[in-house]
Structures are given as C-alpha cells and as structure tokens.
C-alpha cells in the first residue's frame, strides 16, 4: 500500500471542500490499495475497520440472501465511497465486491475516529459528507425495490376486470 497525499485527496469532490490542514490529518489515515476483480473489499458482518474511496474501476454493493445469489443493490464507480456505515455500526452492513480491477483509497476507520475525536470540526465535516452517501444509498435501494415489486394494484384493478 502506498501513502496518499493531501493534494491527492483534494481532487475528489467528496473531500475537495476540506481545509488543507484537515486534508493533511485525513491523509495520515489513508493508503492506496489495489483490488482484483471479484474480490470482496468489505464483507457483511465483518468488523467495520475500513472505508474505501473508489479511484478507478467499479464495485457492487451487495446484500447476502440465504439460498440465493447476492442481490446487487448498486454499482459504484470512481469518486464513490463504500463502507460509510462504520460511523453508525461497528460491523459492515453490505458486501462490496470488485466488478473490475480497482484502485481505492483505503481509510483506516480507527485512525479516522481518533482524528475526529481530536478535531470535532473535522468529524462534523466528514459526517455531513457520509450522511449524503447514506441517503443516496437509501434512495437507490428504494428505487430498486420499486422496480422489483412495482406499484401495488388498486382494488378496482384486481376485482373489476
């Protein structure tokens, strides 16, 4: 794994509005990683010890379904974040699988948490960004459920045809 510079972090829209000093602190918790196609970056139920910013390639957010193939909730690409639920849970909520070879910036969540506790303004700035990601994922799941189950039929459509 290779170290990440504050300048490299500032390129990403998710982090571009952070101050230079904040980027310096966050960079101390970040390393580049490569992931091979098919590899799980994060596994549902595992300790939530990493957060990944996708730099290249694509990954799928998947839900384990007993007795079935995993349900792909969303396909994600460069600039998107996976593992944001670590702020609310000490366990990973979904599988994240590399659909192609990937390069990511891996953030050590224990390191981030220490930095956020030392600098509440930094923690607040990140929480705002993470919550936007969580809301986006909830919306995507909602739309997928609507596609999967459709709109319920009205009583007139069921009984009067």
**pLDDT tens across 7-35, in order?**
999 999 888 889 999 999 999 999 999 99
19-23: which pairs have CB atoms within 8 A and are 24 or more residues apart? 22/119, 22/121, 22/122, 22/125
CATH number of the domain to which 45 belongs: 2.60.120.10
Does the pLDDT at position 99 exceed 50? yes
**How many structural domains comprise the chain?**
1
Is the distance from CB of 81 to CB of 42 less than 8 angstroms? no
- Other C-beta atoms closer than 10 Å to the C-beta of 87 total 18
Q: Which domain holds residue 32?
A: 2-159
The gap from C-alpha 2 to its chain's centroid, in whole angstroms, comes to 21
């Amino acid at each position: 794994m290779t170290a990440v510079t504050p300048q490299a972090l500032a390129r990403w829209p998710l982090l571009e509005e952070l101050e230079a000093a904040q980027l310096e602190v966050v960079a101390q918790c970040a390393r580049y990683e490569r992931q091979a196609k098919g590899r799980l970056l994060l596994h549902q139920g595992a300790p939530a010890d990493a957060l990944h910013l996708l730099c290249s390639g694509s990954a799928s957010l998947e839900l384990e379904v007993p007795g079935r193939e995993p349900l792909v909730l969303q396909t994600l690409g460069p600039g998107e974040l996976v593992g944001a639920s670590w702020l609310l849970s000490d366990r990973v909520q979904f599988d994240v699988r590399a659909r192609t070879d990937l390069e990511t910036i891996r953030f050590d969540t224990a390191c981030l948490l220490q930095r956020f506790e030392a600098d509440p303004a930094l923690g607040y700035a990140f929480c705002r960004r993470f919550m936007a990601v969580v809301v986006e994922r909830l919306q995507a799941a909602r739309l997928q459920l609507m596609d999967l189950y459709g709109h319920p039929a009205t009583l007139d459509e069921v009984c009067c045809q």
